[in-house]
Amino acid sequence: MTKNRLYMGVSAALLAAASVTFFAQSAPAADPAEVVVASYGGSFQDAQTKAFFDTYAKATGAKVTGTTGSGYAKVKAMVESGNVTWDVVSAESSAHANEVKDDLLQPLDYSVIKADGIPAELRTKYGVGYIKFGMNLAWSKDKFSSGLTPAQFFDPAVKARRAVPLEPEYTLEFALLADGVKPADLYPLDVDRALKVYERIKDQIVAYKGAADTQALIQQGEVDLAYIPNGRVNDAIKAGAKWAYGWDASVSDTEWWVVMKGAPHAAEAMKFINFAVQPEQQAELTRQIPYGPTNVDALKLLDPAVAKDLPSYPDNAKLGAVLDSKWWNENRESVKTRWNTAIMQ
């Protein structure tokens, strides 16, 4: 009887152990970590993919999905509808400011995001600034072999196919700077004056486009002049476009990493941002496309010659202005309406 009880006890223990082993082997594996990052497409997102997306996936095993369409309106629509499919968003300063104002973002977790090398003013509750870029006047060297001034861009006697940004940010600043307004006197923007400046050459504007589409028009030979981010036109030149650009009347801005309110993978989003703000990753982005890193330690990793193509380079910075996101935060809705009306007339 004792032997039987012992046998039954051992058998039960073995069966239990076998059951544990079986279910452990047959249970489905946990889903891999995932993060969805929204940006702008084109050469900028190609550079982000090489510097951030692919390297983060390789380093962590997480799935990184890059998507396009980044913009305040899309973020607002997603959050208000409760259908949030993005986690991390790359946002320009004015979009970031308006997203904060409308409570569309969630606070960043700085216990995960280590960004000590980034200036304090770019480490905020709802975003961390990770690059600085410039909006620049660019021209076809075939059409304007001796170059072009901002004033000539708005001179109707200068015949050319022009492309300007779809949004009023940067676009109105460009008009005022070209019309003689000093950078220190730029804000508050004289919207009436800016719109009158555009009216001069409205019949020669062939495209109101985003940066990726404007770059495509340059490479396809569809335009002669453009106001475009310096990295985009630089990339077009590398691809064979006979174009040049300058820093007169340029407008520089900061690009921010933000996390959407209701992001489905918020925890992984914080880890991704931490990875993307580290010196090596920021330096690699600059190697891919000439936008300036915000992490001071990233600058030490770059060839000094690269600095001459960055908006932060002193000789470049003194020729332009810095976008005032606070002003746009307070005025964008009314200005956007007026801009849309003007370009549709």
Instruction: For 32-81, give the secondary structure using H, E and C.
Output: CCEEEEEECCHHHHHHHHHHHHHHHHHHHCCEEEEEECCCHHHHHHHHHH
Domains recognised in the chain with CATH numbers: 34-132+253-321 (3.40.190.10), 134-252+325-344 (3.40.190.10)
For residue range 306-323, what is the model confidence (pLDDT) as tens digits? 888 899 888 998 999 999
Q: Tokens 């000590």, residue? A: 116
Mapped onto helix, strand or coil, the DSSP state of residue 259 is: strand
pLDDT averaged over every residue in the chain: 91
- With cut-offs at 50, 70 and 90, classify the pLDDT of residue 17: very low
What was the pLDDT predicted at 344? 86
Residue 260 contacts residue 107 (beta carbons within 8 Å):
no
- 56-65, 200-209, 312-321: which range is least confident on average? 312-321
Q: In the predicted model, is pLDDT for residue 260 greater than 90?
A: yes
User: What is the pLDDT at residue 85?
Assistant: 97
DSSP-derived letter for residue 86 is: -
- What pLDDT is stored for residue 12 in this prediction? 44
pLDDT recorded at residue 87: 98
Give pLDDT, residue 6: 38
Confidence of residue 230 (pLDDT cuts 50, 70, 90): very high
Under a CB-based contact definition with an 8 Å cutoff, are residues 130 and 37 in contact? no
10 Å CB burial of residue 61 (0-12, 13-18, 19+) is exposed
If one counts every other C-beta atom within 10 angstroms of the C-beta of residue 143, the result is: 16
Pick the closest to residue 105 from 254, 270, 252 (CA basis): 270
